[in-house]
Structure 1
């Protein structure tokens, strides 16, 4: 099962609460459950720009993240499924911790869009780094700047 790093630290914070409930169901009901908690995808800052743009402003939560390539997630999910990865639960993140607002700003600049980025603390856990990997997490793939430079 694919889940999210820090999902157990978010309390009732929207989608994270639903993912935690899904994790608990899988752990209780699935035979031999394996759970991958991944950081946000490298595409996430672009999505946040698109979803939260209001004219020339973008309103975002304060969030620390360590985005990871989707193909790294796919490889590790396959390893969990075929048994070549034996851990029942593990984390996966890219190589560098970043602030979401900075990443969204990089995407906007890459696209040639001039926006003002506004941030508010919507989840203290998220602002404090709950979405960053813990000890023992797999660190893989390109950093955000490298990935972004390869985008059209």
Structure 2
């Protein structure tokens, strides 16, 4: 099976390509570095030509109110090219609970991306994942002030990037879901506790202070970012991931 992986050189994309190739598929990564621009459309038709499946792992360069237009343009160009090429399955990666946090520009943008795909001309699958373990350092940096990191108690269910990539690769070689598949890590933590666990394993002189007004996750209501009963559970625990990284 030939699979065009758009955004195939990034954190998840490179792992998806590696997994698909290991399983015997022809996985072709594309990104700006390979001459594919999903906004201008340059190189997009060539990237998807002859593909049985397109996997969209592109991401907006910003999390602000410019993000919706990025996904509107990119999805429009990718879907048009996929339809022209006769692609039979289009897979995208999204976020568990993304449609439940309209206060965040980026989450509204990802919801728009999902809606455009669902309304488009190509059979599709959406893989929604919980927050990546790899992003915890970045999350703490957003609200760091000197030796203090301020974090809310928002429930988070972290998942390893490799297990996200595995879920995307499995979706790509399966039949179109015409719907959503949720994947999550095995454990739920309050975000502030997750920060403390991280800094205990990787001490750098900073301490976590609980602040339910701090950072982008402060606007999240309840446990909407955690996997519910229908979510597949990945096996890697956060402490084990920390120890191996």
TM exceeds 0.5?
yes
Unaligned runs of 5+ in 1: none
Q: What residue in structure 1 maps to residue 208 of structure 2?
A: 116
Deviations 1:22-42 (A, max 9, x none): 111111125011101100011
CA contact under 8 A between 2:126 and 2:179: conserved in structure 1?
A: yes
Contact kept in structure 2, 1:2 and 1:77, CA below 8 Å: yes
Correspondence for 1:70 among 161, 166, 185: 161
**Matches of 1:85 and 1:60, distance apart in 2:** 38
Determine if the alignment matches structure 1 residue 53 to structure 2 residue 144: yes
| Conserved? CA contact 2:159–2:184, under 8 Å | yes
Distance 1:3 1:96 in 2: 20
Counterpart of 2:198 in structure 1 is 107
1:144 partnered with 2:235: no
Of 31, 36, 39, the residue aligned with 2:130 is 39
Q: What are the Cα deviations for residues 52-99 of structure 1, in whole angstroms up to 9, with x where unaligned?
A: 211011123431111111111111111111116857311000111111
Contact map agreement 1:57 1:118 (CA 8 A) in 2: no
- Tell me the TM-score normalised to structure 2 length: 0.56
Counterpart among 14, 20, 34 of residue 111 in structure 2: 20
Corresponding residue SS for 1:45: helix
Number of residue equivalences: 149
Greater CA deviation, 45-54 or 136-145? 45-54
Match of 1:96 in 2: 187
Cross-structure match for 2:171:
80
Asked which structure has the greater CA Rg, the reply is 2
CA distance in 2, matches of 1:116, 1:76: 32
Does the 8 A contact of 2:150 with 2:209 survive in 1?
Answer: yes
Rounded to whole Å, the distance in 2 between the matches of 1:130 and 1:79 is: 25
- Equivalents in 2 of 1:106, 1:85: separation in Å? 39
Root mean square deviation of aligned Cα: 1.9
Query: What is the TM-score of this pair, normalised by structure 1?
Result: 0.88
Distance 1:99 1:21 in 2: 28
**Which residue of structure 1 aligns with residue 9 of structure 2?**
none
